[in-house]
Amino acid sequence: MIDSHAHLQMPDFAGDWAKVLDDAEAAGIEYVAVIGFDLESSKRAVALCEQNGALLAAVGVHPHDASSLDDSAMDELRRLARHPKVVAIGETGLDFYRNLSPRAEQRAAFETHLAIAEELGLPVVVHDRDAHAEVRQILSLHASKLVGGVMHCFSGDEQLARETLEWGFYISIAGPLTYPNAERLRSVVRQIPIERMLIETDAPYLTPQPKRGSRNEPAFVRLVAEELARVKGLSLEDVDRITTLNAKQLFGLPLNENGDVIVYPIRNSLYINVTGACTNECSFCTRFKSPYVKGHNLSLKRDPSAEEIVHALTTRHGRSFKEVVFCGLGEPFLRLDVIKQVAKHLKGIGCKIRINTNGQANLIYGRNIAPELEGLVDSISISLNSSDAAKYFELCRPRFGPETYSAVLDFIRECKKYIPEVSVTALDIDPSEIEACKKLAREELGVGFRERHYDEVG
């Protein structure tokens, strides 16, 4: 877990700095980003990082102190930013709530920070309080020239969140997510993919529930992660893995893994990465953009054998999960024989089995394979995505041509005969299509229906 924003250089931590870091380590915190807010605090952030390998630094002048950013301070900031432990510029931005520096000077300082970030190829840590419109205006001009950034302690609405993602920035979630009156923030968080979120404490401020009222510290980022897991319907392990990956990607830290993941947990399901190949080329497919699904790198140098999958399953104790799911970043039925062998093994030890598929298995094999799944598969989820053949062909670009859609419908009907639970899914790209797919699934095909978020995978 990474606390992406804390002010450990503040006097609040002077007496027990080492203990605070020990507590953070005991709570599973791998790194803490110590964020500067004026020139002196930026120097202290760098000095702390030189004493402890778990600390990273960001250097910058908070909008409250924007008036202090003269030419010599700017030169000093630029010099500090070249230190190897400095991973970002900030915090910078606009604060029109307290207005402790004149607004024009806040704007000028923000632009200066963005220029330094651009020049040095570092991401920016942005503070935005009651200044959404101006922050939006400035970042929309600069974002394409930056390597990235994060909106620290995000407090905007869903529209600002979506724009932030379009700029390639992350949204950082802090203690306020845990507050009883934060329903608006929780609603935004529900709509935004966790693949674009970081977690932070902003220590010593913004202490999460139930520690509210005491000093905040990096160990408490776990409380933010727990609430984020609850709001997103994920496990704490998922939130830890995904937000850690996000922070490492933003701050340019080593990722410690090279793909070839065969089994991977998400929530309380265990997934099997069967293949990276597919018979579709869906316009929305994430495998063309990134190999990551919920923080797991699913790139495979080669498809795993049945024996390798069974071995990987024994190390993850498949039975302790609610279900085992054949999935991955491709079409699992391209490996029917492997599925059958592994499913037989899993059934032998009492696992519940699901397959996520594009429904083209009968086209792949030129025969009806549904009877071969009887007794092996408990549940099947088939991507429908469209209510008619032409739209399906345009969206999914199947290798088997325009006739694919009717073959997928036939496969769904066949699965109903041999598999206890059959459902279809569609992406929430077009509300009228969602309604049409739901009607088709429930009224004509007699199967379950699930709507999937366009930008949520896994």
216 binds ligand SF4 (CB under 6 A): no
* Among the residue ranges 76-84, 275-283, 367-375, 444-452, the one whose residues contact ligand SF4 (CB under 6 A): 275-283
332 binds ligand SF4 (CB under 6 A): no
Least distance from ligand SF4 to the Cβ atom of residue 304, Å: 17
On whether the CB atoms of residues 274 and 338 are closer than 8 A, the answer is yes
For strands 379-383 and 421-427, give the pairing. Answer: parallel
In 228-360, at which residue ranges do the beta strands (DSSP E only) sit? 263-266, 269-273, 292-293, 296-297, 323-327, 353-357
Cβ-based nearer residue to ligand SF4, 90 or 398 = 398
Cβ-based nearer residue to ligand SF4, 205 or 393 = 393
Cβ-based nearer residue to ligand SF4, 158 or 456 = 456
Q: Which of residues 343-372 bind ligand SF4 (CB under 6 A)?
A: 358
3 binds ligand SF4 (CB under 6 A): no
Least distance from ligand SF4 to the Cβ atom of residue 456, Å: 12
Least distance from ligand SF4 to the Cβ atom of residue 427, Å: 9
Cβ-based nearer residue to ligand SF4, 282 or 325 = 282
- The residue length of the chain stands at 458
42 binds ligand SF4 (CB under 6 A): no
For strands 292-293 and 296-297, give the pairing. Answer: antiparallel
Least distance from ligand SF4 to the Cβ atom of residue 396, Å: 6
Q: Determine the residue type at 305.
A: S
Q: Is 85 helix (H, G, I), strand (E, B) or coil?
A: coil
Cβ-based nearer residue to ligand SF4, 18 or 390 = 390
281 binds ligand SF4 (CB under 6 A): yes
* Among the residue ranges 57-65, 150-158, 228-236, 281-289, the one whose residues contact ligand SF4 (CB under 6 A): 281-289
Q: Which of 164, 201, 273, 280 binds ligand SF4 (CB under 6 A)?
A: 280
Q: Which of 153, 263, 278, 309 binds ligand SF4 (CB under 6 A)?
A: 278
Residue 72 is given by DSSP the state: H
Q: Which of 330, 335, 343, 440 binds ligand SF4 (CB under 6 A)?
A: 330
142 binds ligand SF4 (CB under 6 A): no
381 binds ligand SF4 (CB under 6 A): no
* Among the residue ranges 38-46, 57-65, 252-260, 277-285, the one whose residues contact ligand SF4 (CB under 6 A): 277-285
Cβ-based nearer residue to ligand SF4, 148 or 276 = 276
Give 225's Cβ-side CA count (13 Å radius): 25
Compute the chain's Rg from CA coordinates: 25
On whether the CB atoms of residues 208 and 178 are closer than 8 A, the answer is yes
On whether the CB atoms of residues 201 and 186 are closer than 8 A, the answer is no
- Sign of the four-CA dihedral 408, 414, 416, 421: negative
Q: In terms of Cα–Cα distance, which of 21, 368, 87 is closest to 253?
A: 87
Give the whole-angstrom CA distance, residue 235 versus residue 119: 39
Number of chain positions touching ligand SF4 (CB under 6 A): 11
CB atoms under 10 Å from CB of 193, counted, come to 16
For strands 296-297 and 197-199, give the pairing. Answer: unpaired
Least distance from ligand SF4 to the Cβ atom of residue 330, Å: 5
Q: Which of 201, 383, 387, 423 binds ligand SF4 (CB under 6 A)?
A: 383
Residues whose CB falls within 8 Å of the CB of residue 162, separated by 6 or more in sequence, listed in order: 192
Q: Provide the β-strand partners of residue 356.
A: 381
294 binds ligand SF4 (CB under 6 A): no
Q: Which of 91, 331, 378, 414 binds ligand SF4 (CB under 6 A)?
A: 331
CB atoms under 10 Å from CB of 91, counted, come to 25
Give the whole-angstrom CA distance, residue 50 versus residue 46: 6
- Footprint on this chain of ligand SF4 (rule: CB under 6 A): 278, 280-282, 285, 287, 330-331, 358, 383, 396
